[in-house]
Structure 1
């Protein structure tokens, strides 16, 4: 079959008038962002189809579309056919694979890829009647990645309808040129003590500034750290530090880290309070139940952070997690 590369607007046009019960959200895990070179959209989709057909024994590629890091979609299974995504929830579903490994410490869902995903999901939920469903909700997987908090993702989708800045691809975001008319904003190109304080706050909040640190210069490294923080906390991902971003930063760095409870937390644990803290930190539904889904998320996080991936939260995992 011939795959096509579509913009999000072209895809939405193709889907106009259709109704779906579920919008399944997945990540590929492999291939990841490092496998994408900006020109191999079709080659990557063909490789996934070959794997699904020749190794999994399916009659076609599993997903309806794959969303690449540059915000473009590649068509897959025909839109009128049932996907091969989540057992028991495929009938009436539209399935999107996001190319990348979005477990904590790996790829980040941001920029044009995030913008296109939010626009598509807003369309599917408001026009097609779909309910957003993460793969991990019905399987012992971390998919679409422990780095994606569903509650934050749902807020971002809902905010799309109010012209939320996060919905605009990064390349088209306007840059504010004058700080004199917007004295409470910090943005790319600014310098001084306020920028240095911002950088210190970002690092305390867990963001990385490996090259320049707190040098008082709001450059590209600081811009990406701000966007990462905003995306992680359900804020407008515009890279501009206004009152909301500043308030959230101050809240995060002033919130004391929870103390280790003194016992191992693992599958079957009755410590619901701390299980919920762990789940929230991992970006999965915080229901207080340490089952296979939570164990898989813990293992993925441990592996990404150089710890023994046993799925058990002991002192070392707790210290690094919080």
Structure 2
């Protein structure tokens, strides 16, 4: 498969009908977000391929796709059905490559470095939701089976899986959508009452009408998935997106 820059929806079409045992999640560490200029998708991918082939001695790049900071993917190692089977297997986690699909996220997601947010996070969560729900895969972080921090100490797997498992639930067509006018003031930690409860219901927090630290965390997660600044404060933009 020649390298192509594709959207997450185009990738899901390529994966339609395929089954996997594992979905491997990795980060590049190097290169990172600072190396991405919005136009060098293919050159960054080729640089990784050169390293994997020339320095590691692999026959091709290790990953099936690389997820760039703008939410677009670059195809890598072949995963389409053809007469050759060995090239479908990634080089990612020893003992867990057979039957696996491998995603490499461009960035260094150790704490204090790059952050997995916005379009990159949304594409990743949408892909992983599809791999789990449609392809039968189990999500596997590299660090679970190797002495590494990959895909980064800044990514908590439990929280990541909540986003994956809940993806799309806000968009159920069979549920009537209710609209609420913006209350005219920020809803933040310390707020109490019906508006705080509305926010809690929306983000999956305990609905007691008390906006505490746990609600703030849930709001940040919700904002991140929906491409908003994750400040944990429900202002006009967040409220409009929610309601």
Bin the TM-score by the shorter chain.
0.7 to 0.9
- CA distance 1:232–1:139, shift in 2 (3 Å): farther
Contact 2:143 2:149 in 1 (8 A): yes
RMSD (Å), alpha carbons = 2.7
Structure with higher Rg: it is 1
* Alignment partners' CA distance in 1, 2:79 and 2:95: 18
* Alignment partners' CA distance in 1, 2:161 and 2:94: 22
Q: Which residue of 2 aligns with 1:4?
A: 4
Shift of residue 182, structure 1, vs aligned partner: 1.8
Q: Secondary structure of 1:95's partner?
A: strand
Q: Which residue of 2 aligns with 1:305?
A: none
**Which consecutive residues of structure 2, in runs of 5 or more, have no partner in the other structure?**
81-87, 172-179, 192-215, 236-243
Q: Which residue of 2 aligns with 1:136?
A: 143
Contact 1:22 1:133 in 2 (8 A): yes
Q: Which residue of 1 aligns with 2:183?
A: 183
Q: Which residue of 1 aligns with 2:33?
A: 33
Q: Which residue of 1 aligns with 2:85?
A: none
Q: Which residue of 2 aligns with 1:110?
A: 117
Question: For 1:9-59, what per-residue CA distance to the aligned partner results, in whole angstroms no more than 9, with x for missing partners?
Answer: 000001100000000000000000000000000000000000000000000
- CA distance 1:158–1:46, shift in 2 (3 Å): same
**Which consecutive residues of structure 1, in runs of 5 or more, have no partner in the other structure?**
165-179, 188-193, 199-228, 244-322
Runs of 4 or more above 6 Å deviation: none
Q: Secondary structure of 2:168's partner?
A: helix
Q: Which residue of 1 aligns with 2:18?
A: 18
Q: Secondary structure of 1:29's partner?
A: coil
Contact 2:48 2:61 in 1 (8 A): yes
Q: Secondary structure of 2:167's partner?
A: helix
Contact 1:25 1:144 in 2 (8 A): yes
1:145 equivalenced with 2:152 (yes/no): yes
Contact 2:142 2:148 in 1 (8 A): yes
Q: How is 1:152-301 mapped onto 2 (pairs within 5 angstroms)?
A: 152-163=159-170, 181-183=181-183, 186=186, 230=217, 234-237=221-224, 238-239=228-229, 241-242=233-234
State TM-score, norm by structure 2: 0.73
Contact 1:185 1:241 in 2 (8 A): no
Q: Which residue of 2 aligns with 1:300?
A: none
Structure with the bigger RCO (C-alpha within 8 Å, sep 6+) is 2
Tell me the matched-pair count.
192
